[in-house]
């Protein structure tokens, strides 16, 4: 029996508004909340609403801490394709947060397994009040592709050929696309007190259906969310069309 609370919106704009309402409630109840953040195109509308609200004197992020899901291996924070850069550009540089309170895996660490262990230790000291997630068309969450064990912690992943090709458009050539990434594991994701997963567009409809109504299986990483006690999925009509 799925515990996931589903909110269906007419379009991406309304999805972003509803996501902001969920986020704002967390922050109003707890001004020093720990936020788990995600990259990808889907949360950008939510981040824009957070920026707009903060600039208009709304919620302050002075006491907030953040942890991100994943980072490419081999890209420095200043590389415009790194997820650190993405987060600064799309949110963190535009709200009143102290950047020292924002965390993401170090993709240029010399010892990657040690970096994963460091990140898990950090996560245990920063229990997340909410974790934002996007979802892949194959049901992946963060870089946890189908087949990732449900008990996985932060780990190094080899990107699939498909992901490398999909990402090539952002780089000068396919050879420049990172081959590896660091990602929070499924166990780490499930530790957040609340999960806010966002899905927009017809390409996500199958993954949304399997996440909410399908079998809980490692073949659909997001299906583990059915076991989370406080998970909200906001999908626009296209993404929710098979529900």
Respond yes or no: is residue 228 known to be catalytic: no
DSSP string of 71-92, one letter each residue: EETT--TTSTTSHHHHHHHHTG
CA nearest neighbour of 223 among 238, 208, 236: 208
140 catalytic residue (yes or no): yes
| R_g of the chain, CA atoms, integer Å | 17
Binding site for ligand PGA (CB under 6 A): 40-42, 134-136, 140
Nearest-angstrom CA–CA distance, 47 and 162:
27
Please give the residue whose beta carbon sits closest to ligand PGA in the complex: 40
The catalytically annotated residue of 90, 105, 140, 236 is: 140
Which CB sits closer to ligand PGA, 41 or 230?
41
How many CA atoms within 13 Å lie on the side-chain side of 78? 0
CB of 125 to ligand PGA, least distance (A): 26
Minimum distance of ligand PGA from residue 140's CB (angstroms)? 6
For 11, other C-beta atoms within 10 Å of its C-beta total: 11
Known active-site residue 103:
no
42 versus 211: smaller Cβ distance to ligand PGA = 42
Residue 230 among the catalytic residues: no
> Nearer Cβ to ligand PGA, position 136 or 178?
136
Positions marked catalytic? 70, 138, 140, 145
């Amino acid at each position: 029996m799925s515990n996931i609370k589903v909110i269906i919106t007419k379009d991406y704009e309304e999805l972003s508004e509803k996501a902001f309402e969920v986020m704002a409630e967390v922050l109003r109840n707890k001004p020093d909340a720990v936020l788990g953040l995600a990259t990808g195109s889907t949360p950008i509308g939510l981040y824009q609403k957070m920026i707009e609200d903060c600039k208009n004197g709304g919620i302050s992020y002075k006491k907030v801490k953040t942890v991100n899901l994943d980072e490419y291996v081999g890209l420095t924070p200043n590389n415009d394709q790194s997820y650190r850069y993405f987060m600064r550009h799309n949110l963190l540089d535009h709200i009143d947060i102290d950047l020292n309170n924002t965390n993401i895996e170090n993709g240029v660490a010399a010892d990657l397994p040690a970096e994963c262990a460091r990140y898990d230790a950090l996560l245990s000291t920063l229990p997340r009040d909410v974790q934002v997630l996007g979802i892949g068309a194959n049901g992946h969450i963060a870089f946890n592709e189908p087949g990732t064990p449900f008990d996985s912690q932060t780990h190094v992943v080899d990107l699939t050929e498909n992901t490398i090709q999909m990402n090539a458009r952002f780089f000068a050539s396919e050879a420049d696309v990172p081959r590896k990434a660091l990602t929070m594991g499924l166990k780490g994701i499930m530790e957040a007190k609340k999960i806010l997963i966002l899905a927009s567009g017809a390409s996500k409809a199958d993954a949304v259906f399997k996440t909410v109504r399908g079998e809980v299986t490692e073949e659909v990483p997001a299906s583990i969310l059915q076991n989370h006690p406080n998970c909200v999925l906001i999908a626009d009509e296209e993404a929710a069309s098979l529900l």
